[in-house]
A and B are shown apart, each in its own frame.
Chain A
């Protein structure tokens, strides 16, 4: 008998269950980063050094702020959960490559300090931090979004001089579309001719607008891995397309242009700021698509992705309350 051995052995006593899924929070965030990487790296490759600087400082602002905040508050470090890295990278994806480094840094700091840590840290924020950082930059240094540069390989349109507009997104073509619509009720360019640019190489906007195809690829990976609920991107993009179709616009152009793909696959799907039930997510996604589309059609700015998602972020807790599921074995009218 090995009684002596058994006596020295200390067994941990914990309540069941004693096993857990390997899909931990850091692993989920790792998948999100991995899903973003193809689009991000393609953007860096084509936009060069300025884009690398933008990503570096947005990440530094986000991760650094969380580290400093935790250190100052003498709380356990949380940067290991990966959420700040995702925030920094997503913020960078919403910025044009020639964003001054200090603006990218400020956006990252705002995203984490104000939109996340002030609300209580991970899991407690009401609004998507990356989009909050973007909104902060948009209202503080709106000219940043006019700092667009080289056009894509397949581009056919002469780039217009657009300066100082109060945009919420950097979709140059969207700005043109809005201007054209206001002036003549019709477009001065052929939208369908832009599809290939938007899918594979478009250098007119932010990093997240370089390749729609790579964003879709990343989004599909997340759906396939069970990390993202397909209802949100499908509901968002589907609503967008339907509204545009009804309004007589080109639905494909509107889904591919601007920040909608990044928003639908990577921003609106943020766990913390979206509803937790399936039907809640459907409502949330339709709301995002609706506000985004209506904004583009009737609003003064060319793009409304940030606004639409933030608006629905604010409604998410209410949506959750409205979709509390029926408990097993309970019939209508009980409790």
Chain B
């Protein structure tokens, strides 16, 4: 059993349906909706207008801001509208709507400008964290000067149940992953490169090791949720805790998702912008798979391509079941951070419960919490609108992994209550 972290939970895997299915390209949809905000930080401004013809890979949105990432068109086509859209995360964003041309040359794209600075190329390619957080990768590649980076950790854990997009990327494109890992190490001056993979993916470990050489360690980590959370992964690989309120870089470690480093390699070596990604469509759909979808594809179209939903589906979410966003409508676009679309039937989901579910003090949530919090205590204070009480139990340190709600035998909405407390505390200016 590989190294790991303290706390966490054993979640069911549910990966059998898609883990052995090769990545398959989803068809180019009849309409692309490309949100201007597919990243943490400043939203982009549209650089095209209605009626403009665009090429595949062409820049369609950007903004002058350090923390931001430009967006590109994934198809050759015509801009038909600049409008507002909902993103999978439920926020509103400006969006460029593009109608693709009849024929597409998907092997070709407009390369990002040749620049000396590799970090500038990463930014120009619009690369963001593809594990779901969508933090601009170029920013992470330039940590504040006071930090010395020693270790680049590539996150191949994919600890979320159901998802297999990273798994397939590691199995099918190990060379892209190792190339990206080496690039990140070279750019940041880190001397150690580790690819951390949960040990339920031996084929991914095997594939990566064929490319790893002597300069990259491929580490099989214990399969435990949330092994792929940044702080927990650093703990498992480097044995260090990220100090409270500080950047992970304070430990000398830098974490990037496998999909992200592959995109970094594509950006730096080939000038390829981030315009498509692998999305695992699974659960109660008729034809589960790992689909390579162009950014802006409607999730409804993607689900349609996956054979459609079964009739008794109750919840569909973007991302994994532990941290993903439930969708009220499938009419939202795939964005750079959309790792999966999972449909669950009634009875497969965490039951919807009233607010007055009692805590039976079983002690499972403090044991599960990878941050060693006492979720039951924060939740009871939040339930009573007692923000001071929630703060006393360090609500703001919560990483929102959901392990507490997952293990709660009375199904108290623990994380939901903690989120309420966090919002209230952040609103009044508290910091962790």
In contact, B317 and A16 (Cβ under 8 angstroms) = yes
How many Å from the CB of B348 to the closest CB on chain A?
A: 7
Residues of A within 8 A of B394 (CB): 327, 330, 335
A-B contact count (CB 8 A): 162
**Which residue of B325, B361, B371 is within 8 Å of A272 (Cβ)?**
B361
* Chain A residue, CB-CB nearest to B342: A18
How many Å from the CB of A228 to the closest CB on chain B?
A: 10
In contact, B409 and A329 (Cβ under 8 angstroms) = no
**Which residue of A6, A20, A271 is within 8 Å of B361 (Cβ)?**
A271
Residue total for A at the interface (Cβ-Cβ under 8 A): 47
How many Å from the CB of A27 to the closest CB on chain B?
A: 8
In contact, B360 and A329 (Cβ under 8 angstroms) = no
* Chain B residue, CB-CB nearest to A334: B244
Which B residues between 300 and 355 are near A, CB-CB below 8 angstroms?
300, 304, 308-309, 313-317, 319, 321-330, 342, 344, 348-352, 354
Q: Tell me if A12 is interfacial: C-beta within 8 Å of chain B.
A: yes
Instruction: Check A1/B409 contact, CB under 8 A, given A19-B161, A20-B350.
Output: no
- Bitwise interface map of B from 391 to 409 toward A, beta carbon under 8 Å scored 1, else 0: 0011001001011011111
**Which residue of A1, A20, A281 is within 8 Å of B405 (Cβ)?**
A20
Instruction: Check A25/B242 contact, CB under 8 A, given A12-B315, A327-B372.
Output: no
Residues of B within 8 A of A272 (CB): 360-361
In contact, A21 and B9 (Cβ under 8 angstroms) = yes
Q: How many angstroms between the C-alpha atoms of A273 and B394 in the bound complex?
A: 25
* Chain A residue, CB-CB nearest to B391: A335
Which B residues between 210 and 249 are near A, CB-CB below 8 angstroms?
231, 241-244, 246
Q: Tell me if B67 is interfacial: C-beta within 8 Å of chain A.
A: no
- Bitwise interface map of B from 357 to 396 toward A, beta carbon under 8 Å scored 1, else 0: 0111111001100111110100000000000000001100
Instruction: Check A327/B373 contact, CB under 8 A, given A2-B304, A24-B409.
Output: yes
Q: By CB atoms of chain B within 10 A, which of A12, A18, A23, A121 has the most?
A: A18
How many Å from the CB of A328 to the closest CB on chain B?
A: 4
Where chain A touches its partner, the secondary structure class is loop
Instruction: Check A325/B409 contact, CB under 8 A, given A13-B327, A16-B415, A124-B358.
Output: no
Q: Tell me if B11 is interfacial: C-beta within 8 Å of chain A.
A: yes
Q: How many angstroms between the C-alpha atoms of A273 and B308 in the bound complex?
A: 49
In contact, B350 and A326 (Cβ under 8 angstroms) = no
Instruction: Check A18/B242 contact, CB under 8 A, given A9-B313, A11-B314.
Output: no
Q: Tell me if A324 is interfacial: C-beta within 8 Å of chain B.
A: yes
Residues of A within 8 A of B192 (CB): none
**Which residue of A1, A11, A281 is within 8 Å of B328 (Cβ)?**
A11
Q: Tell me if A14 is interfacial: C-beta within 8 Å of chain B.
A: yes
Q: Tell me if B118 is interfacial: C-beta within 8 Å of chain A.
A: no
Residues of A within 8 A of B354 (CB): 76
Q: Tell me if B77 is interfacial: C-beta within 8 Å of chain A.
A: no
How many Å from the CB of A76 to the closest CB on chain B?
A: 8
Q: Tell me if B416 is interfacial: C-beta within 8 Å of chain A.
A: yes
How many Å from the CB of A54 to the closest CB on chain B?
A: 27
Which A residues between 73 and 92 are near B, CB-CB below 8 angstroms?
76, 81, 83
Q: Tell me if B411 is interfacial: C-beta within 8 Å of chain A.
A: yes
* Chain A residue, CB-CB nearest to B301: A1
In contact, A15 and B415 (Cβ under 8 angstroms) = yes
Instruction: Check A327/B344 contact, CB under 8 A, given A15-B326, A16-B323.
Output: no
In contact, B241 and A329 (Cβ under 8 angstroms) = yes
In contact, A271 and B363 (Cβ under 8 angstroms) = yes
In contact, A17 and B350 (Cβ under 8 angstroms) = yes
Instruction: Check A331/B243 contact, CB under 8 A, given A18-B344, A19-B161.
Output: yes
Q: How many angstroms between the C-alpha atoms of A20 and B322 in the bound complex?
A: 9
* Chain A residue, CB-CB nearest to B300: A6
Instruction: Check A17/B304 contact, CB under 8 A, given A11-B329, A25-B360, A328-B241.
Output: no
Q: How many angstroms between the C-alpha atoms of A240 and B64 in the bound complex?
A: 71
Q: Tell me if A229 is interfacial: C-beta within 8 Å of chain B.
A: yes
Q: How many angstroms between the C-alpha atoms of A24 and B364 in the bound complex?
A: 12
Q: Interface residues, chain A, CB within 8 Å of chain B?
A: 1-2, 6, 9, 11-21, 23-25, 27-28, 76, 81, 83, 121-124, 229, 271-278, 281, 324-331, 334-335
23 contacts between A and B (CB under 8 A): A2-B304, A2-B308, A9-B313, A11-B329, A12-B314, A12-B326, A12-B352, A13-B326, A16-B317, A16-B400, A17-B321, A19-B322, A23-B407, A23-B409, A76-B354, A123-B360, A271-B361, A274-B361, A276-B376, A325-B372, A327-B372, A328-B371, A331-B243
Q: 7 tightest A-B contacts by CB? A: A17-B402, A123-B358, A276-B363, A20-B350, A328-B371, A271-B362, A329-B244
